[in-house]
Structure 1
Amino acid sequence: MLKRVSLTTILLLAALAAIGWKYQQYLSNPWTRDGQIRAQVIQITPRVTGPITHIHIKDNSVVKAGDLLFEIDPRTYQAALEKAEASLAQANAMLKKAQDESHRGHSLARRQPGAVSQLTLTQLNNGVEAARAGVKVAQASVEEARLNLGFTKVSAPVDGFITNLNMRVGTQVVANQPVVALVDQHSFWIEGFFKETDIRDVSTGDKATVSLMSYPDQPLQATVESIGYGIAHKDGSTGVSLLPNVTPTFQWIRLAQRIPVRVQIEQLPPNIQLRVGTSASIIIHKVAPVTIEQIALKTQR
């Protein structure tokens, strides 16, 4: 009986020691399971309106910067360009006519002083300036029409992954309305949410270890890139009768808020593919703060 009690006591003490050691490790190295893979997502948005005539991508495909994604019917914009070019030619003809009339008027005034009034000469000069302005307007219209024609071909701005592709040939796209998402291949990072009490000694540059739920047996080395400076306040929003909406809480419970910490993976193995929104666990290896005694000891040395 005594042996059983002794064995039980030893096991209990060992368990308490393990719990204490683990808690101490948790205090010195903050850990969270509330991590998520993030990346910059570019909303591919056409600059012009029209039906899609060609689609050069598939859902969940990989694209390179400059790759053609899809094409919009260019006929309307080709016609607009030709019309603008015709208006430019007409404006140039009007400028030539105004310049000829001004040249004749000034030549006659030099040969026969007084044959042409000063008011007429001024009007001729103004006609030339107005014609030049008309040419500039026509040139701008041609450039705008040429740009719109070029916008009928939509290309990838960066390397990345196409996702949530739902359009088909014949789909009417509207200018400045996003149609597909492009995940920037070179912008992935991990965002973890730590209790405010756990990050008091955490600073930029601290090392971290990331475990992806998709690859639990391949921990990744990472570095703390930044720590969030604020989070949204849930209470205080306007409610009924323009009064602040405050959620009731128990007075003896004071929950620590969670602050986002951004970490960057140092080197990604080729067999791991990061995906936006998937889960991760993060451990931050704090750098022990230097005490005044340690500074004094180093100074003495």
Structure 2
Amino acid sequence: MKTKLVTIALIVIAAVLAGIKYQHYISQPWTRDAQVRANIIEITPRVTGPVTQIYVNDNQRVRAGELLFEIDDSVYLAASHQAKASLAQAKVVLSRANNELKRMSALEKRTPGAVPVITLNNLLNDVESANANLQAAVAVLDNAELNVKFTKIYASKDGYITNFNIAEGAHVVANQPVVALIDEASFWVEGFFKETDIQAMQQGDTASITLMSYPNNPLTGTVVSIGYGIAQSDGSTSTNLLPNVNPNFEWIRLAQRLPVKIAVNALPKNVQLRVGTTASVMINQRSVSAG
């Protein structure tokens, strides 16, 4: 009899603990499916040419405005010199057209009818054309000088250079990314929660974050946003323009997962966030009940 009572008591205690755990899970959504994310800036040269100097190494921390590497500027310097010469010529042509117009206008004032109207009109057109050519020459020079500046590639943000695989002499192409810069001020944790958990959270809730790489350094965060949609595979067009529909078992309905963006409140000095690493996230009960 005593053994039965002990057994019943243990079953009751187990049931109570299971109920408490379940209630805790319901009120505090939790997921192990979370990752560290950050804004990735693609460092993209705006001119083409061989790399002549490299000032950083792979996985190095850089400051905004720091020089990363240089591209051979000889071709662009030559284009700049040519543009300056063309600008000088355009100024001379404009000056000559203005002088001729002034001379003929003065002659017409002294002796009315000495200069045909069509001649004056043509001279005025020459001045306007020379002025337009001058403005075009200025634009060409501006573009040439910009290209010279673009041969020096700088970091646009404080962050970390990664996947830097170019070497001196390598040929880079304009508008083709060559290296990634991780913005160190943009790190966040993205957790993927079941759709059944979304109703228990809201923007502004606090969260507990455990990084797999730092299991003994729990972090706190704040829910920034909750995803409004995910991609659907059913209904997408397959071969022969037919819809692609996955088989579905009526007795099994898997909950979809939605991304929840969580900002990290404070980062200990001995913890370094790295993009793509794994984390666990739990939305705290106090924040849910407070909402």
Query: Separation in 2 of the partners of 1:19 and 1:171?
Result: 62
Aligned length: 289
Aligned twin of 1:152: 151
Aligned residue in 2 for 1:201: 200
- Preserved contact between residue 209 and residue 220 of structure 1 (Cα < 8 Å): yes
Q: In the TM superposition, what are the counterparts of 1:166-181 in structure 2 within 5 Å?
A: 166-181=165-180
Cα distance in 2, alignment partners of residues 21 and 56 from structure 1: 58
CA distance in 1, matches of 2:209, 2:122: 77
Aligned residue for 1:262? 261
Provide the aligned C-alpha RMSD in A.
Answer: 1.3
Q: Secondary structure at the match of 1:263?
A: strand
Does structure 2 retain, via aligned residues, the 8 Å contact 1:161–1:185? yes
Question: Distance in 2 between the 1:285 and 1:205 partners?
Answer: 11
Please report how far the alpha carbon of residue 104 of structure 1 lies from its aligned counterpart in structure 2 after TM superposition: 1.0
SS in 1 for 2:189: strand
Secondary structure of residue in 1 paired with 2:261: strand
SS at match of 1:217: strand
Change (3 A) 1:289 1:209: closer
For the pair 1:237 / 2:236, whether they are aligned, the reply is: yes
Q: Aligned equivalents of 2:264 and 2:111: distance in 1? A: 86
> Following the alignment from structure 2 to structure 1, what is the Cα–Cα distance between the partners of residues 22 and 271?
31
Instruction: Map 1:3-82; keep pairs closer than 5 Å.
Output: 3-82=2-81
Moved more, 108-117 or 280-289: 280-289
Given residue 22 of structure 2, which amino acid in structure 1 is its aligned partner?
A: Y
Q: Which moved more, 1:31-40 or 1:262-271?
A: 262-271
State how far apart, in whole Å, the 2-side matches of 1:239 and 1:196 are.
Answer: 27
Match of 1:165 in 2: 164
Task: Report the 3-state secondary structure (helix = DSSP H, G, I; strand = E; otherwise coil) of the residue aligned with 1:216.
Answer: strand
- The Cα shift of 1:10 comes to 3.2
The whole-number CA distance in structure 1 between the counterparts of 2:4 and 2:169 is 80
* Deviation sequence 1:175-196 (CA, Å, 0-9, x none): 0000000000100000001111
Is the 1:201–1:289 Cα contact (8 Å) retained in structure 2?
A: no
Corresponding position: 1:288 with 2:289: yes
CA distance in 2 between counterparts of 1:262 and 1:239 reads: 32
How far did residue 234 of structure 1 move? 1.1
Q: Secondary structure at the match of 2:216?
A: coil
| 4-13 vs 97-106, which moves further | 4-13
1:106-150 CA distance string (max 9 Å, x none): 111111111110000000001001000010000000000000000
Q: 1:84 maps to what in 2? A: 83
- State the match for 1:133 in structure 2: 132
Q: Which letter does structure 2 place at the counterpart of 1:288?
A: S
Identify which range, 193-202 or 166-175, moves more after superposition. Answer: 193-202
1:99-118 to 2 correspondences below 5 Å: 99-118=98-117
User: Deviation at 1:252?
Assistant: 1.5
- Give secondary structure in 2 for the equivalent of 1:193: strand
Offset at residue 219 of structure 1 (A): 1.1
Q: Distance in 2 between matches of 1:4 and 1:55?
A: 78
Structure 2 unaligned residues grouped into runs of 5+: none
Deviation digits for residues 11-55 of structure 1 (CA, Å, limit 9, x no counterpart): 333333222211110000000000000000000000000000000
SS at match of 1:19: helix
8 Å CA contact retained: 1:99, 1:128: yes
Gaps of 5+ in 1: 291-301
Deviation at 1:3, TM superposition (A): 4.6
Match of 2:224 in 1: 225
Change (3 A) 1:65 1:289: closer
Give the structure-2-normalised TM-score: 0.96
